[in-house]
Amino acid sequence: MTKRVVIKVGSSSITIDGLIDHEQLEQLTTQIAYLIRKGYEVVLVSSGAVAAGIGKLNWERDSLTLPQKQAAAAVGQGLLMHRYEQLFQCEGINVAQILLTNEDIADRKRYINAKNTFQTLLQNGIVPVVNENDTVAVDEIKFGDNDRLAALVAGVVEADALLLLTDIDGLYTDNPKHNSAAQKIDTIKTIDNSVLEMAKGAGSKAGTGGMITKLEAARIATLSGATVVIAQSSMPWVIKKVFIENQNVGTRFLPAEETMKHKKQWLAFASKPQGKIIIDEGAQTAIYNDNKSLLLAGVKSVSGNFCLGSVVEICTDFGHVIGKGVSSLASGELQLMLNSEIRPKGIVVVHKNDLIINNY
Residue 207 predicted with pLDDT over 80: no
Lowest mean pLDDT among 84-88, 162-166, 195-199, 330-334: 195-199
* pLDDT (average), residues 210-234: 92
Q: Count CA atoms within 13 Å of residue 241 on its CB side.
A: 17
* pLDDT (average), residues 316-333: 93
* pLDDT top residue among 134 and 222: 222
Could you write out the three-class secondary structure of the chain?
CCCEEEEEECHHHHEECCEECHHHHHHHHHHHHHHHHCCCEEEEEECCHHHHHHHHHCCCHHHCCHHHHHHHHHHHHHHHHHHHHHHHHHCCCCEEEEEECHHHHHCHHHHHHHHHHHHHHHHCCCEEEEEECCCCCHHHHHHCCHHHHHHHHHHHCCCCEEEEEECCCCCECCCCCCCCCCCECCEECCCCHHHHHCCCCCCCCCCCCCHHHHHHHHHHHHHCCCEEEEEECCCCCHHHHHHCCCCCCCEEECCCCCCCCHHHHHHHHCCCCCCEEEECHHHHHHHHHCCCCEEHHHEEEEECCCCCCCEEEEECCCCCEEEEEECCCCHHHHHHHHHCCCCCCCCEEECHHHEEECCC
Q: What was the pLDDT predicted at 1?
A: 58
Q: What was the pLDDT predicted at 208?
A: 44
Residue 200 predicted with pLDDT over 80: no
Residue 68 predicted with pLDDT over 80: yes
* pLDDT top residue among 297 and 173: 297
Residue 133 predicted with pLDDT over 50: yes
* pLDDT (average), residues 118-140: 86
Q: What was the pLDDT predicted at 267?
A: 92
Q: How does the average pLDDT of the chain come out, rounded?
A: 89
Q: What was the pLDDT predicted at 356?
A: 93
Q: What was the pLDDT predicted at 101?
A: 86
Q: What was the pLDDT predicted at 79?
A: 92
Q: What was the pLDDT predicted at 138?
A: 60
Highest mean pLDDT among 28-42, 145-159, 201-215, 266-280: 28-42
Q: Which domains does the chain have, with CATH numbers?
A: 4-260 (3.40.1160.10), 273-357 (2.30.130.10)
User: Quick one: CA dihedral 56, 58, 59, 60, positive or negative?
Assistant: positive
Q: What was the pLDDT predicted at 143?
A: 36
- For 273-298, how does the pLDDT look when each residue is reduced to its tens digit (9 = 90+)? 999 999 999 999 999 888 899 999 99
Provide long-range contacts, Cβ within 8 A and 24+ apart, for 68-76: 69/134, 69/141, 70/134, 70/135, 70/136, 70/138, 70/141, 71/135, 73/49, 73/134, 73/135, 73/141, 74/135, 76/48, 76/49, 76/50, 76/51, 76/52
Q: What was the pLDDT predicted at 261?
A: 80
Percent of the chain whose predicted confidence (pLDDT) is above 70: 94
| Contact (Cβ atoms closer than 8 angstroms) between residue 161 and residue 226 | yes
Residue 40 predicted with pLDDT over 50: yes
Q: Which residues contact 315 (CB under 8 A, 6 or more apart)?
A: 276, 277, 278, 279, 321, 322
Residue 194 predicted with pLDDT over 90: no
Confidence of residue 144 (pLDDT cuts 50, 70, 90): low
- For 147-158, how does the pLDDT look when each residue is reduced to its tens digit (9 = 90+)? 999 999 999 999
Q: What was the pLDDT predicted at 244?
A: 95
The rounded distance, in Å, linking the Cα atoms of 168 and 204 is 10
The rounded distance, in Å, linking the Cα atoms of 199 and 209 is 11
Question: Global pTM?
Answer: 0.88
Confidence of residue 203 (pLDDT cuts 50, 70, 90): very low
CA distances from 266 to 42, 143, 260, 272, 351 (A): 21, 20, 9, 10, 16
Q: What was the pLDDT predicted at 137?
A: 66
